[in-house]
Chains A and B, each alone.
Chain A
């Protein structure tokens, strides 16, 4: 068992927000069939949103580009999905939420409390939703205020998900910590774009979006590395993890656990596979505990 901000996890791999997290049944499937140690829901907001027009996600040679546009049914309609996930997933369920200001974040968190999410993850980092996400998450004062507002109304751990699309991610991490965050999650997608050269049209319906998958792993490793140095609270690593080797690398940079998003494209059971791979690695190398590798790279000078 791993402990992460007080949550008990059977393995340190979590489903990342916005991937297979729209329905309760899907979250349960990722937990049971996929073997995830915990699951994070799609980011839920104050009002229903249909998201950006398609194409909303395309695969590239080096990863994926997406601009979903935070589609979500709003918190009242999501309660029934959360209820199902909590009932049947058998692992902690973390509610990812977003809003345009501290009041909206608090409203959504309170609105979801009746179904008892095990933690909240605040999405202040989506790169392609006007007025939400990174619009909030690139402003340290707002990040601190949003974090404090949610901490005020809930009594479960609050994680803050950070955007790499800022000049200094540790400044935002510090703001989250000052607001009372129990952990930070890094990173959300990296701003990106693709253009169809036959027509000149940008491929995504929103014209541009966020890059995920393999291509962003080095960016994520560096962000996690810097946050580990700057913060007291745990850092949860996400971005381009698709194998146990990637997960171990992220942990050596300082991640207390990893999230996996895009890699579900290849296979659903990537979580149990990574979990088993980490265990085997620890045994082979003679590490008595996973804690021995968290932040290891910082000591190797």
Chain B
């Protein structure tokens, strides 16, 4: 039986991915802050008869001092973790985070420090076992700092750079690392944003992630057209870019 750990399992995207991943051949471990919500997701998968009842574990990305214990508890439960999907993330509106550093700090600590803290431990175990898969959900917002969202963006830039280095480090061990860069997705994170044509459903992203895993991609933009949008954005000369309102 394959074991799959989902970090930030209450995320809109994670819920969609769990539904697609659950199967009689997969033991899911849902980890996140709100265990009551995760229990509902687990009940849903169980009613659908998709596989064994998922395990549920409390996990707080900001509480880095608990990560060592968390990871050993996971290993105690399932012995081997085959795949880890990291979905947790925090986004506060730029204007608010500019005024209140706590908000900026919460994004940096969750999206970057917290991710590094847990994935370093995961990586060490997988490296030793010479097998495994790590999927990190970053964002197109990390590709270039824009005035409208650079505090969140820089936390994701850090995550993307970390994942790229980690991927390279784990090549000799045969452990695969996939960086996912979604565009706008219709989840609680974007509840306050006007929905337009650029918005994708969480199911679409979840399908894209699984397809990219199968294809052993290193970096995937989801939906695909974001790759071209970001290609243009990162090539605008800085002198010009700094004057845009993007």
Report if A and B associate in a common complex. Answer: no
